[in-house]
Amino acid sequence: MKNYDVIVIGAGNGGLAAAATCAKEGLSTLLLERHNIPGGSASSFVRGRFEFEPSLHELAGVGAPDKSGQIEDMFSRMEGNVDWATHDSTFRLVVPAKEGDKDAFLNENGVMVTVDARMPVGFEAFSKKLDEIVPGSYESSMAAFDLSTRMFKALDALDNPVQLPGSLKDIPDIMRMVSHNMKDSLDALGMPKKAQDIFNTYWCYLGSPASQLDFLYYLAMLHSYVKDGTGIPKLRSHEMSLALDEVIRRHGGDIWYNSEVTKVIMKNGKPVGVQINGEKEVYGKYFICNSSPNRVWSDLFEKKDIPGKQIKMLNARKIACSLTTVYLGMNKTKEELGIKDYSVFIAPDSDSDKQYEAAQNFFSGYCIINCLNEIIPDCTPEGTSQLFLTTMTFGDVMKDIRPQDYKKFKTKVAKDMIETCEKALNISITPYIEEIEIALPPTFARYLNTPHGTPYGYMLEKWDSMIPRTVQFIQDQPFSNFFFCGATQERGDGYGCAYFSGEKAGGLVVKALKKEGK
């Protein structure tokens, strides 16, 4: 039996990036995946004549047509070829008015709203638009983006622990940002409350509201979205998965699909191999795991072999949000439907903390509606379009739903989400639905094998946000030859974050083996 330099568990985004990084550097690499295709969330599925994107809303850091961004640069480093489609806008936030709202107005759709913000790309343009909506917010917005621009130098340093002490002395602003949340920081910059609510619209992509969300981390994400706009592979996110699959194979790596790791084999207190599908055993020197630590420690290890610190970490952390998504194949074009934006956030209240509080129940009226045809016009047959609607929840919101009521329940949720979008945008969706698929948390749980089906890992709280996780990354790994990657790690959820974590874990293994003389 071949003994591999590195065995990667799980072909999700992080696992693919880790395996590609290792294989490209000449390590004998094995990637194991329980499904029959790579990608995890980065895949696609077909219903009727529509091919749907399961989860990617938009990818920040792709870059502009004439200039590559962080994501495109990362794929270039890993030698993955992806044909990108880019979009020169960020988001539209619509908050329908409630009865008695004094600041309500009629928007372009003929709907009474308290907020209707369509935000452009570019720091200057974004800040000017914010100031147009909320006078007096321009300077504070530009000050925030100035901090984010300088902050990226510090983030690069933090990912190289050897350089950490000297680097932080050169970037004092990083220390001021680390210990503060979005609300306190924007207050300190003098940003008006209504402008803060618009500025914080992307909070849901990180899963923590403004009062809990790390200022530096959110700013890093918003910076990436506003700097160059958004992008998505022309063949959907599965194009990225297949590109990295090809890189791994081209460099001599092995990929075994339909191969679920059912046990980690230990010897002298360290992992030495894995058992596959309850039978076959394969051995290696290093291991990178793209699975949820909750699942890994409960299913793959004997209790006596689990480091005590890992149990403490699981007990201390909160499971992040779960998603419900409704996929719609429409027999009308987006123009016929009256859709003018790629990504619209519809919220019952503009305040992220109130949105978060409402999301403790199943559907609170918060919904994101995306139209892929806005970025990729020919992603559906001529005369058609596709939409996907997403909402989030926290905790085990399905615990009181009986199996016999599941179908009725998910149908009601989908109906409520569709009607929310119809009302907020004054459009008609229901009569033109040709195909519909509804994915509730149990759907994601079955596919992703994560608690409550969360794709986000753990909530990014003040004590457990990006900077503490990054500084503690090595110390938080369970064994000297076993690293985690993916959404549970330092940068949390997000395609780019997952790829980054896999590349980092792969790089650590490459470095370790080179030090050993490999």
Residue 175 pLDDT level (bands cut at 50, 70, 90): low
Q: What's the distance, CA 354 to chain centroid?
A: 22
Domains identified in the chain, total number = 2
Phi then psi for residue 275, to 5 deg, are: -100, 135
Between residues 207 and 262, the one the model is more confident about: 262
Q: What is the mean pLDDT of residues 43-52?
A: 96
C-beta separation of 88 from 121 below 8 A: yes
CA 256 to each of CA 133, 261, 449: distance values in angstroms, whole numbers, following the listed order: 53, 11, 18
Token readout for 103 is 């600041």
Task: Classify residue 285: in a domain, yes or no.
Answer: yes
Confirm if 83 and 512 have CB atoms less than 8 A apart: no
Could you give the percent of the chain with pLDDT greater than 90? 77
HEC secondary structure over 316-336: HCCECCEEEEEEEEECCCHHH
In a domain, 110, yes or no: no
Is 292 domain-assigned? Answer: yes
* Separation between Cα atoms, residue 467 and residue 213, nearest integer Å: 12
Question: Cα–Cα distances in Å, from 210 out to 49, 55, 408?
Answer: 41, 23, 35
Question: Taking a C-beta distance cutoff of 8 angstroms, is the pair 455, 444 a contact?
Answer: yes
Lowest-confidence segment of 137-146, 177-186, 318-327, 429-438 by average pLDDT: 177-186
Q: How confident is the model at residue 483 (pLDDT cuts 50, 70, 90)?
A: very high
Distance of alpha carbon 286 from alpha carbon 307, whole angstroms: 17
Edge-to-edge strand list for the sheet holding 84-87: 59-60, 230-233, 84-87
Range of the domain at 196: 122-228
Residue 385 has pLDDT above 80, yes or no: yes
267 and 222 within one domain: no
pLDDT-derived band at 216 (thresholds 50, 70, 90) equals confident
Residue 171 has pLDDT above 90, yes or no: no
Q: Is residue 163 part of a domain?
A: yes
Q: What is the spatial distance between Cα 406 and Cα 457, in angstroms, rounded to a whole number?
A: 25
Query: Which residue blocks in 229-376 are alpha helix, DSSP H?
Result: 238-250, 293-299, 308-316, 334-337, 352-358
Supply the pLDDT for residue 165. 45
Secondary structure of residue 400 in the 3-state scheme: coil
Q: Are 27 and 284 contacting, i.e. CB atoms less than 8 angstroms apart?
A: no
Q: Are residues 300 and 152 in the same domain?
A: no
Looking at the structure, do residues 202 and 293 belong to the same domain, yes or no?
Answer: no
Q: Do the domain assignments include residue 428?
A: no
* CATH number of residue 490's parent domain: 3.50.50.60
pLDDT at 195 over 90: yes
- Block residue for tokens 């932080």: 168
Do the Cβ atoms of 495 and 244 come closer than 8 Å? Answer: no
Under a CB-based contact definition with an 8 Å cutoff, are residues 151 and 138 in contact? no
Q: pTM, whole model, 2 decimals? A: 0.93
Helix (H) or strand (E) holding 214: none
Domain for residue 326, yes or no? no
Q: Say which residues have a Cβ less than 8 Å from residue 129's Cβ, sequence separation at least 6.
A: 117, 118, 119, 120
Which phi and psi (to 5°) does residue 190 adopt? 85, 25
- Can you give the pLDDT at residue 161? 46
Residue 461 has pLDDT above 90, yes or no: no
Residues 269 and 296 in one domain: yes
Structure tokens at 180: 């503060």
Could you read off the pLDDT of 294-315 as tens digits, one per residue?
999 999 999 999 999 999 999 9
Residue of higher predicted confidence among 67 and 372: 372
Spatial distance between the Cα atoms of 26 and 251, rounded to a whole number of angstroms: 7
H or E segment and range at residue 395: none
In a domain, 460, yes or no: yes
Determine which of 151-160, 212-221, 463-472 has the lowest per-residue pLDDT on average: 151-160
H or E stretch covering 109 = none
Angstrom distance (rounded) from CA 263 to CA 274: 6
Q: Tokens at residue 402, please?
A: 């009986």
Check if the beta carbon of residue 111 is closer than 8 Å to that of residue 424.
Answer: yes
Residue 12 and residue 23 in contact, taking contact as beta carbons nearer than 8 Å: no
Closest CA to 238 of 17, 1, 41, 445: 41
First-to-last C-alpha distance (Å) of the chain: 20
Residue with tokens 């007096």: 136
The reply to whether 365 falls in a domain is: no
What integer pLDDT is reported at residue 170 of this predicted model?
52
Domain boundary among 204, 228, 252: 228
User: Is residue 404 very low, low, confident or very high in pLDDT (cuts 50, 70, 90)?
Assistant: very high
When pLDDT is cut at 50, 70 and 90, the band that residue 488 belongs to is very high
Residue 126 sits in the same domain as residue 224? yes
User: Is residue 336's pLDDT more than 60?
Assistant: yes
> What is the rounded distance in angstroms from the CA atom of residue 31 to the CA atom of residue 38?
10
Q: How confident is the model at residue 316 (pLDDT cuts 50, 70, 90)?
A: very high
pLDDT at 159: 56
Identify whether residues 299 and 208 lie together within a single domain: no
Q: Are residues 276 and 129 in the same domain?
A: no
pLDDT at 278: 95
The mean pLDDT value for 485-514 works out to 93
Q: What pLDDT score does 173 carry?
A: 63
Mean pLDDT to the nearest integer, 258-276: 97
How high is the pLDDT of residue 172?
Answer: 60
**Domain stops at, among 228, 250, 268:** 228
Structure confidence at residue 163 (pLDDT): 46
* Same domain membership, residue 177 and residue 197: yes
Given a cut of 70, whether residue 8 has pLDDT beyond it is yes
State the chain's mean pLDDT as an integer. 92
- pLDDT given at position 182: 93
Torsion of CA 462, 465, 471, 477, to 10 degrees: 120
Average pLDDT over every residue of 488-510: 93
Tell me the angle at which helices 215-228 and 123-133 cross, rounded to the nearest 10 degrees. Answer: 110
- 67 pLDDT more than 80: no
Which tens digit of pLDDT belongs to each residue from 226-255? 988 888 999 999 999 999 999 999 999 999
Name the domain boundary from 196, 228, 260: 228
Look at residue 166 and tell me whether its pLDDT is greater than 60.
no
* pLDDT at res. 308: 95
Phi-psi region of 338 (alpha: psi -120 to 50; beta: other; left: phi over 0): left
In sequence order, what are the residues at sequence separation of 6 or more whose Cβ sits closer than 8 angstroms to the Cβ of residue 383?
A: 331, 332, 333
pLDDT exceeds cutoff 90 at 199? yes
